[in-house]
Amino acid sequence: MILLATLTAVLLYLDRVCISTAGNTVAQNLGITKQQLDEVLGAFFLTYALGQLPAGWLGDRFGARWTLGLYIFLWSLATGLLAFARTLSAVLILRLACGLFEAGAYPLAASIVRRWVPARWRGTASACIAVGGRLGGAIAPILTIQLMLAWTYGNEWSNLPSDARAGLDSWRPVMGLYGLAGVIGAVIFVLLFRDWPHQHPAVNAAELALIRGSEPLYQSTTAPSEWPPVVAMICSFPMWMNCAVQFSANLGWGFLVTKFPQYLEEAFQSSQQQQGWMQSLPLAAGIIGLFLGGLFTDTLTRRFGPRWGRSLAMSASRLFVVASLAAVPFAGSAWTATLLLAVVGLATDLGTPAVWAFGQDVGGRFVGSAVGWANMWGNFGVAVSPAFFGWIAASSATGTGWNQAFAACAVVNLIAAVAALGVNASRPLVPAVQT
């Protein structure tokens, strides 16, 4: 079940990243500016953030099997239809749709972990799923470029004659192929997945006892009249502290996937080829951080209980980020700065499993809603990250803007490290319902 959720995360990031990888070709083919395309791609995160809570509630209400299967189908359909987009407006609508439907992935994956994994191993299981997303993001650029080259028989579109439309259209069959793969993936998911362990024919009594641990044997899904516990989440101090941690984490991580190449070019005059390799290093380090973070928070939880097992893991990860960001302005070379930012990537994802596990611990039958609520605020951090770093970097007339941006982000993460101490995973949002 966790493997199915992990493969879903691979599809998620494959469809999310592919259009930006083909951005230059898309802009040329549609006759639009790169700025217009960037605005369209940025709009993805608006519907992605706003769709988190509704998606989580739908999963709580109807279960992940059909809900997540439908979400995979719909975001894959939106990706596949990009192959037929001829205008900027069409691409905008399809990317907004893709963001809205991809919003269901992680809240519903969290509910899968909640129902299928014992509490003491939820951090590790969450890390495995998050690694799927990172792998999809790492595979997407390479696979997309190779498929586009295969469509043009190994020729870059820029080397083809100006009237050779096949080169400019090389991104279209790739989008269609990804869409088809996602539709097939949705069917496989629905066929193999079950919402509860006791519903799966391959689960025996001993496995069921292991999975549920000391928790109720069956927990009912949300009653038809129940809505997401918005009031409970708004009134929950630990929930807001968790949201603050996610916002700060994504603020720094957003720099790695958006403004990092610009920083390398302006601060060190790095070539584009160097930028590609340097940008991949922090993202690869994040995969290591996820695995370590899952083991870290689960070990702390088994030793100190959920109250400090989640809280300390979040706080420690923020402190590592603060130390690394504070050291970046003193880097004497591009590679030194890259290694320090790789530590930022590793430390950021070191706290991710604890953030996910917190929502699974306190959410109960509303786990999708709880994770979706916090993930919404986290994605607001990604959305403002480019503007945050870009504005501070451009505001300095002395050429030290990037240093000031790193310092400001370090302060935000220091505040989050303190906020993490207020996270309490031992208090459920709402009372459990047992049937």
Same domain, 382 and 248: yes
Residue 215's pLDDT is what? 59
pLDDT at 209: 87
Question: Which domain CATH number covers 245?
Answer: 1.20.1250.20
pLDDT of residue 149: 81
pLDDT value, residue 34: 67
Tokens linked to 401: 């803007």
State which of 199, 218, 237 marks the end of a domain: 218
Provide the pLDDT for residue 114: 85
- Count of domains forming the chain: 2
Kindly state the DSSP code that residue 225 receives in the 8-state scheme: T
Q: Are residues 210 and 227 both part of a single domain?
A: no
Q: How many CB atoms lie within 10 A of CB 394?
A: 11
Answer for the pair 145, 21: CB distance below 8 angstroms, yes or no.
yes
Residue in 149, 122, 34, 168 with CA at minimum distance from that of residue 361: 122
What is the domain extent for residue 388?
223-435
CA atoms of 107 and 151, how far apart (whole Å): 36
User: Vertex 361, ends 359 and 363: CA angle to 5°?
Assistant: 55
Shared domain check, 427 and 369: yes
Q: Which tokens go with 271?
A: 């070539």
* Whole-angstrom distance, CA of residue 135 vs CA of residue 94: 24
**Are 81 and 178 within 8 A, CB to CB?**
no
Q: Bridge partners of 219?
A: 434
In a shared domain, residues 396 and 335: yes
Q: Are residues 197 and 341 in the same domain?
A: no
pTM score, two decimals? 0.75
Per the structure block, which two tokens stand in for 421?
Answer: 């101490």
Last residue of a domain, one of 218, 247, 276: 218
**pLDDT truncated to tens, each residue of the chain (435 aa)?**
999 999 999 999 888 878 877 777 888 888 888 677 767 777 788 888 889 888 888 888 888 999 999 999 999 999 999 999 988 899 999 999 999 999 989 889 988 988 898 878 888 888 889 889 888 877 877 788 888 888 876 655 555 544 444 457 888 999 999 999 999 999 999 999 999 999 999 999 899 888 877 555 444 444 444 777 888 888 889 999 999 999 988 888 778 776 777 788 788 887 755 766 777 788 788 888 988 988 899 899 989 988 899 999 999 999 999 999 999 999 888 899 989 999 998 998 899 889 888 888 888 778 878 888 888 888 888 778 777 887 887 776 555 788 888 888 899 999 999 999 999 988 888 776 543
For 139, counting Cβ atoms within 10 Å of its Cβ (0-12 exposed, 13-18 middle, 19+ buried), the class is middle
Clarify whether residues 111 and 240 are in a common domain: no
- What is the predicted pLDDT for the residue at 434? 47
How far apart are alpha carbons 264 and 256 in whole angstroms? Answer: 11
